[in-house]
Structure 1
Amino acid sequence: MRTASPARRAVGLLAVGAIGMSTVVLGAGAAQATPTLEPFAGTVSGDPGGQDTRITVPAGYCAIDWDLRGAQGGASDGTPGGLAGRLQGTTWVREGDQYLLQPGEVGGSADQPTGGRSGSTTSESITFGPVTTGEPGDSGELVRTSGGGGASAVRHGGTAEGLVLMLAYGGDGASSQGWGPLPEGGGRGYNVFGGGTHAAAGEALESEWTAGGAGSIGYEGVPCEYSPEPPVIQHALPTGADAITVRFWAPNDERELDARADVTGYEITLDGGTTWRPITPTRTDQTPALTVTVTGLDQGTYPVAVRATSSIGPSAASTVFPARVVRPLGTPTGVTASVGTSSIRVAFEHPADDSGILGYTASAFPDAEWEDIQDTWPTAGAVWCDAQADENGCLIGVPAGYSYSVVVYARGEDGYIGADTAPIVTEVVPGPQQPAAAPAGDGPLSTEDGRIDQVTPGEEVVLTGSGFLPFSTVVLTMYSTPTPLGTAVVGADGTFTATVTIPSGVAAGTHALVASGIDDSGAPYALRMDVTLTGATAGPAGTSGSTGTTVPTEASTPGSAGSTGSGEAGALAFTGASVVVPGVAGLVTLVAGGALVLLGRRRAAR
């Protein structure tokens, strides 16, 4: 019998009278030591006929090598019947698969020219699928013919009604006149391979017309060569104060037939692979993802990995995924949020149990569609302020013109954070007022090229400044007659950058460029730079001119703080903050209607 490795060979499968070829390419894997397996091999014969044998694939086998021989046709008055077909090949199997073996019976002689049976199958019992029994011959006086031999068939599922997986057909019956074996003279054995015309070509399926005598079916199990593929961990997250929930993907080959052993279970390690314990994961959806929760753990960080088990040994371990079991942090209470100039002052009480808390974060997100503000918003999500563990509040700078939802949460070690408080919705936050006269300034205003002393009408100037409350709005104005230049939103580092256009129609002379807002404490704060306007119509010294109309830019209107835009003639273009803060855990996702909203309203603790 052949025992070729399934890694090199595959066999065509016969279904409803047709054999089709299939080739499987094995993935790389670690070969396992040969385990002690239950013996799985044998040969069943069609003598005596009418016998069926059911076999079940035991653990540790991935393929079966088959050798099928059909039964010879019956003899007639000394003329032997036709030889039957022989079919050899290999099929992939898995533990628990069942097969019904039905060896062919030699066709009856001319004295009793019955067609040979295929196991217990008779011509009367065939209702579908290929004909496996021989046709009867003729016991007449002139020409006596014998019956055709029965086919040897393997049926899937272990029952006589199962689909024919493989078969080797029987030989034709003989004729007493020496004409046989001929289809016209004796009972037909349906001597065609593949249920159609000829045997399929290729190494995996080999056939020949050499079988004589009773039919037979030989089989020999081929042990699995490889353990399963390793699972893939999706996440390992703390659950409560003493548990970790692990979600992982089952091996890719869990449902495939190849030289890898079937998955029989799973194990988990919490110490990087030194020790393993069995787990019973559950599948909660239609994906291959499995979930398991391990409880009774002490606080600490655990290197988590999972692996599959099989009859020949475990798979390789998945990638190690660190998971930390921590005591849940307490949630602040008594939260209040009061709006001020481009800011929200948040106050709160510490939780009764403040163990493990290193500080607090107040987070605010605007009542606005994210798609309308994302291009000019100063962060990747919510704006925030941090408080120390012994503080009871902080001041959040916010772009003016919106109402906000405010939450507070505690921060612990390694970026661990507690639960949000219930959100508080504020009133619309007002922006800074434009001073009636140029303030003296708390510091120098500058440009991207440093301080300048001359400007011309229509010139674009990139203004820069620092010292403002992060995320607050800054109003830009040209004095002495107040001429709005636009607004800007401060970045997380307290700086802003804004492009403005010096308006036309302003009298030549000395003017002041001023950025007005608030500082870290919420107090008014302004930066100033004096410049000389040249190339313009002469006017009273120290004025910005009294002719011409200036239209505020879009950014100076409520509901659009921090956006860029330009006004009518004489209006000044600007840009919002160029600083984007990394580490913010706000996430943007699609919601019904196509609107984008921020899911995460908190940032990771810095």
Structure 2
Amino acid sequence: MPVSSSSRRVLGLLAAGTIGVSGALLGSIGVASAAPAPVPTPVVDGSDGDQVLAETTAAASTVSFAVPAGVCAVRFAVAGGSGAVAGSQGGAAGLVATTVRASVGQSFTLVGGDAAIPPGVDGQQSTVTGGNGFSITAAGGSGTSTPRAANSLSPNAVSIEADNAVDGSTAGTQFAGGPGVSLAVGVACPKAPESVSARGADGSVQLRFSVPVDDPDEPLDDDLSFMVSVDGGSFRSLPVTSVDPTIREVAGTVGGLTNGTPHTFAVRTVSYIGSSAPTTTRTATPYLPIGAPQGLTVTRTDTTATVSFSAPTTAGTYALDGYSVGYGGREMGDEACRLPVGVTTCTFPLPAGADVSITVFALDAGFQSSLPATVQSPPVVPATVPTKDDGDITGPAGPITAVQAGQELTLQGLGFAPLSTVQLTLFSAPVSLGTTVTDADGRFSVRVTLPAGLTAGTHTLVATGINPDGTTRYLVTTVTVAASGDGVAGAPALAATGADTAVPLAGGVAALLVGAGLLVGARRRS
């Protein structure tokens, strides 16, 4: 297991503490030495949920504490007092760092070993004791430059963090002994899962929940696992079926459940430190879904869709209780029909330009739904010019009145539902010019190409879609197609579509311009 940031802080502070001794103390025994570092006060910032539980702040001091709620483990860092040798370096004091699991209310006692002052005196050991024979001993350093006695750990004090099981020595550079230090830091329990949801399936329930972390940029810990309690029973391992590290969402499945019987679930997070508090319970009922409706068909007109199907052939845990028919896609789709048992057809408004998927669910008496029966319903070309006219199709510069066979032009319209499909059709004989999608303001602008074999005479451009309120909307514009070899009537309007036109610069230019002006004026008056 990796050493936590608080462990590193504790180890570093204790290493410094075992070699610190004041200049006044060195002077009092007549030993020359460089000014050593002062004995620091241990600090843990608590950013990872850890907290200092106890520390010895003076040589030979004793401190006791009980493990508080929310703490699942304790990190101990214990250093013995160094020995003192005249004119040479004293024997090294022992340093022990270990992490042990702990329970709420468990008691421990810390003793900091005294330092050796006169030369030739050994430093005292520092210890931690607790119930059930728990003990940690950091040996004092020798006063005769000989090796120190060994540190010791009781079996129940062996570290659960492999990389943190330190049994080292810190001789420092002092000639007089440094005081021993003992420190206990509480390690917070894992955080309980959040946003728990439970959903029934056949003989099982799927649980989904998020894993809270202190740092949003921190990845999920690979060492985490989860346990579940069913109906208040003992916690057992939860098989994880998926993990989304981006949103820290975990899914797991509890199997072996009885269909039709509600069950309650609570979840815990588990790490090598311990387990979190349980979540509040969630209730779900496993069930066998009813079968999907059969033989779904859709018949479209330019304003409606008629859906027909047959009843499911597979029974579920609960009895059939009706059907829900809906449509979706780039339209404002929602439920179109709610049907009782025995009714398997319905008709609802759906404009010709809508390219949607139509879906039917069977509903059961347990308020569950079947798998969907779905068909894709493409846009429909209207059979005739609609009698309803909600406005005109225009070009970039205004009305369109005259066009040519095979011409490419820009068609524009407005007033449709935002981001909805519009079907473009050319009559007399209906010819689809394709579909387009409106912008956020319900407008469209699209380039189309008229059929090369379009006959001369009067034709109609139709744009079919939906209004913001969901009703059918038509834009209808009549245009004239010039005969082959004829000039294009209504040249100003054609120019508005984006087609190129050239005005001959000959002797009759003035007359042509005057005539064009009279024509425009006459059209506006009409």
Pick the TM interval, shorter chain: 0.3 to 0.5
- TM-score, normalised by the number of residues in structure 2: 0.45
- TM-score, normalised by the number of residues in structure 1: 0.41
